[in-house]
Amino acid sequence: MDSEVVHVPAEWRAQHPHGAHLTGMLEYRALYEESIRSPNTFWAKQARELLSFSHGFHTTHIGSLAKGNNAWFLGGELNASFCCVDRHAIADPDRVAIIHEPDDSCDASREITYGDLLGHVSRLAGCLRAQGVQKGDIVTIYMPMIPEAIFAMLACARIGAVHSVVFAGFSADALRDRIQDANSKVVITTDEGRRGGKAIPTKAVVDTAVRDCPCVSTVLTFKHTGGDVSWTAGRDMWCDEELKKYPSYISSEPMHSEDYLFLLYTSGSTGKPKGVLHSTAGYLLGAAMTGKYVFDIHPKDRFFCSGDIGWITGHTYTVYAPLVLGCTTVIFEGTPAYPSFTRYWEVISKHAATHFYTAPTALRLLKSKIKKRDVEEFNMSQLRVLGSVGEPIAPDTWKWFYNSMGDQKMTLTDTYWQTETGSHIVASLAGVTPMKPGCASLPCFGIDLAIIDPVSGEELKGNLVVGVLAIKQPWPSMARTIKGNHDRYMDTYFNVYKGYYFTGDGAYRDQDGYIWIRGRVDDVVNVSGHRISTSEIESSLLEHAETAIIGVPDELTGEAINAVVSLKTPVIPLGIEQELILHIRQSIAPFAAPKKVFIVKDLPKTRSGKIVRRILRKLLTGEKEFGDISTVRCSSPKNEKCQPLILRL
């Protein structure tokens, strides 16, 4: 697993147009040592260098992991929208901030300069204020990948409102729950979105969701496709007309370092999605610092991250890292497969992207479809850095990415992190770290990793150890709480191994100290890099059935969801499998829908009534050895010992 090392190609450094930020591994090691030994000095220096405080901080950090009460840069005041927009608009207003590539390659792309961005963000900020949005209020954003989505995020930040972006693939029910939880007065959307040649009815989904949200007084809609929408007078407003009323500059609200910048829902091991809250200064610093050192971003770069703004990757590396560092972010509304499988190559060459950051699930798809000759015509000469995120990247996919898109001339960084960590925590640094295909590699600055024995709870020191991955020192971009449920925050991350932040992932440290991520050890499934809890899906079916959701390996999506269902009705209705799949698509999202549904008579359970997933997983993956099943029962009246065949899969 850990034998192969790919060194950064010599020409990478020689041909670097700006000179890399770090000189090499010696500098990484020295800086890393300093960041662990004297974290406060290290972080204070980084914060002063990378962010602009309108009022300097007096205390770098207080709190501990054991208490879960960490706070950074106290006394400091700043504004994320100022850091991402104003300071670049002042220095170089004509520099391009955002390039938008539409779904359809025949439609024109758009460029927005930092000067223009300041106007767009200010006008929308003024409009939000006029709708009664105040500092600390949460605004929900349900939008496709268009520049206006970024205007919306930054407009919230400008007036001190907290944004809650909901992925525009979530159903109306899921959106409703998130709007209600956030108690949003204002929802921002578009008439429609467009993906893979299909219209996405964003406004219609919002209309359905807000029917049950009395908190919502305004729905602001950007015209995007021109598609028909229904209209509720008094509540709905077209942004395009409304925004003309507001000035192209309003000053940004000074925010305390610890004021929340955004709320983002993610799945945990229990049913209800959790609203993770991130702070202003700490989060922004994590984005800026990893952008600078992991991706080696420079102001003239064009950073193309294919992550949707509805997920943390989109927040940190489509929006905040590129903009806080003042480079150009390339955003893409479409899919890698439409109108052809060369779409990513087209976007990269058309916009001269210097970086391309994507997920293994897209790479697996492309790997199976693309031949070398299909992509030979594209000019990829500007491309310097490739990145992977969201799930383990298998060595063969890594190599394919490196060889076919990178032409063996680039540096490929596998970045491991989470919604809760805010920014990368384990990653090879572009142009610096010798790469191992399939390996996230080394800890980022300030991240003090520990591998813990899950049985004894003891830290496993040294190399060649396997266990669960934890962090033993606080870092600025860690999430501060779960909205409305600080106990869940403590129990999920800090009370599992006292004094450590628990990631929920298994990991192996090899003989060189490189970290290999082995996947979740809790009930979270990772489908195409989208995180979903098994119990969230199970509870959506509770009315109809008792269900065990199992993640099984899948060639295309990494993991696929299989549902093993024991119906509550005596008769099995025809087509019930499709009905259950549809139900999950509608109540959660299409990505959460099972690939396969198995109807069974009983689910195997322990004496205390817990479903024994271990057996189901083995059955579904074709393993023959079931281990000790002497205590496993089926829930049938006879309570007979469970034999796998009884499942009738």
523 binds ligand PRX (CB under 6 A): no
* 218 or 421: CB nearest ligand PRX: 421
Cα 362 to Cα 344: distance, rounded to the nearest angstrom: 10
List alpha helices for 10-78, DSSP H.
Answer: 10-14, 25-37, 39-50
**Residue nearer to ligand PRX on the CB measure, 153 or 440:** 440
What is the nearest approach in angstroms of ligand PRX to the Cβ of residue 101? Answer: 22
Query: What's the rounded Cα separation, in Å, for the pair 387 and 391?
Result: 12
- 84, 87, 93, 96 alpha-carbon torsion, rounded to 10°: -30
Interface residue with ligand PRX, options 122, 252, 526, 540 (CB under 6 A): 526
Nearer to ligand PRX, 229 or 561 (CB): 561
Upstream peptide bond of 339 is cis (omega within 30 degrees of 0): yes
| Contacts to ligand PRX from residues 63-92, by CB under 6 A | none
Q: What is the nearest approach in angstroms of ligand PRX to the Cβ of residue 424?
A: 8
Q: Is 517 in the site for ligand PRX (CB under 6 A)?
A: yes
Q: Which is nearer to ligand PRX, 101 or 391 (CB)?
A: 391
Closest distance between ligand PRX and the C-beta of residue 135, in Å? 27
Q: Compute how many residues bind ligand PRX; rule: CB under 6 A.
A: 22
Query: Residue 513 CB, nearest distance to ligand PRX (Å)?
Result: 17
Separation between Cα atoms, residue 358 and residue 349, nearest integer Å: 16
* Nearer Cβ to ligand PRX (326/476): 476
Strands 193-195 and 198-200: antiparallel
What is the rounded end-to-end Cα distance, in angstroms, of the chain?
34
3 state SS of 640: coil
Q: Report the residue from 189, 202, 313, 481 that binds ligand PRX according to the rule CB under 6 A.
A: 313
Question: Shortest approach of ligand PRX to residue 286 CB, angstroms?
Answer: 12
CB within 8 Å of 464: residues ≥ 6 apart: 509, 510, 511
Return the structure tokens found at 42: 């290290």
Binding mask 232-271 for ligand PRX (x = CB under 6 A): ----------------------------------x-----
Cβ atoms 497, 457 nearer than 8 A = yes
Do 429 and 28 meet the contact criterion of CB atoms below 8 Å apart? Answer: yes
- Minimal CB distance residue for ligand PRX: 419
Nearer to ligand PRX, 184 or 441 (CB): 441
- Paired tokens of 577: 């499998």
Residues 6+ apart with CB under 8 A from 583: 540, 541, 544
In the region spanning residues 497 to 516, those forming contacts with ligand PRX, defined by CB under 6 A, are 503-505
432: helix, strand or coil? coil
CB closer to ligand PRX out of 2 and 577: 2
Residue 78: CB partners within 8 Å, gap ≥ 6? 51, 52, 53, 54, 55, 254, 255, 257, 280, 281, 284
CB of 392 to ligand PRX, least distance (A): 4
Nearer to ligand PRX, 345 or 416 (CB): 416
Q: Smallest distance from the beta carbon of 116 to ligand PRX, in angstroms?
A: 30
Residues 383-422 that bind ligand PRX (CB under 6 A): 389-392, 414-419
278 binds ligand PRX (CB under 6 A): no
Of the pair 613, 633, the CB lying nearest ligand PRX is at: 613
Interface residue list for ligand PRX (CB under 6 A): 266, 312-313, 389-392, 414-419, 440, 503-505, 517, 519-520, 526, 531
